[in-house]
C-alpha cells in the first residue's frame, strides 16, 4: 500500500514541474524576438565596455567561499552532535573526535601547501633602489 505522504510528494512534484514549464513558456512567448548588435553587447551600468573582462592575476576570494562552506558544514555536524551528545555516549565522542581530527589534518595540509598564503610572497618582491 502506498503511503499518503507519497501522494503529497507526487502532487508537489507535479505542480513544480507544471509551474516551471509555464514560466519557461511565458518567458519564451513574451521574450524579445529580434536581436541586434546593441542587444548582444554586454551591459555594464550603461557604459560601453572597454577591454577584456579576463583578469591577468588570480583572485583568492573563491578560497574564502570554499572555506566558509567547509567550516559551515563542519559547524552543522558539530552542533547536531552537541544536541545529542548525551544519547551518543563514548561512540559519539570518538566519531566527532575523528571528524574534527580529519578536518584539522586537512587544514594543516592546506596550510603547508601554501593554500592560506593570499598576500604577496617574499620571493616575489623585488628590491627597489
**pLDDT of 52-103, one tens digit each?**
767 665 656 777 777 788 888 888 989 999 999 889 999 999 999 999 999 8
61: left (phi over 0), alpha (psi -120 to 50) or beta: alpha
Whole-angstrom Cα Rg for the chain? 26
pLDDT at 127 over 50: no
Structural domain 60-117, CATH architecture: Up-down Bundle (1.20)
Its pTM stands at: 0.46
Query: Is residue 107 classed exposed, middle or buried when 0-12, 13-18 and 19+ CB atoms within 10 A define those classes?
Result: middle
Q: What is the mean pLDDT of the chain?
A: 82
Q: Is the per-residue pLDDT at 25 higher than 90?
A: yes
Q: Which three cell numbers stand for residue 94?
A: 570518538
Amino acid at each position: 500500500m502506498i503511503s499518503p505522504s507519497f501522494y503529497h510528494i507526487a502532487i508537489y512534484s507535479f505542480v513544480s514541474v507544471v509551474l516551471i514549464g509555464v514560466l519557461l513558456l511565458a518567458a519564451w512567448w513574451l521574450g524579445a524576438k529580434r536581436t541586434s548588435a546593441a542587444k548582444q553587447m554586454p551591459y555594464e551600468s550603461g557604459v560601453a565596455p572597454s577591454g577584456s573582462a579576463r583578469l591577468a592575476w588570480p583572485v583568492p576570494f573563491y578560497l574564502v567561499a570554499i572555506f566558509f562552506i567547509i567550516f559551515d558544514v563542519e559547524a552543522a555536524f558539530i552542533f547536531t552532535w552537541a544536541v545529542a551528545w548525551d544519547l551518543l555516549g563514548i561512540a559519539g565522542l570518538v566519531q566527532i573526535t575523528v571528524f574534527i581530527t580529519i578536518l584539522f589534518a586537512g587544514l594543516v595540509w592546506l596550510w603547508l601547501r601554501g593554500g592560506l598564503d593570499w598576500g604577496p610572497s617574499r620571493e616575489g618582491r623585488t628590491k627597489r633602489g
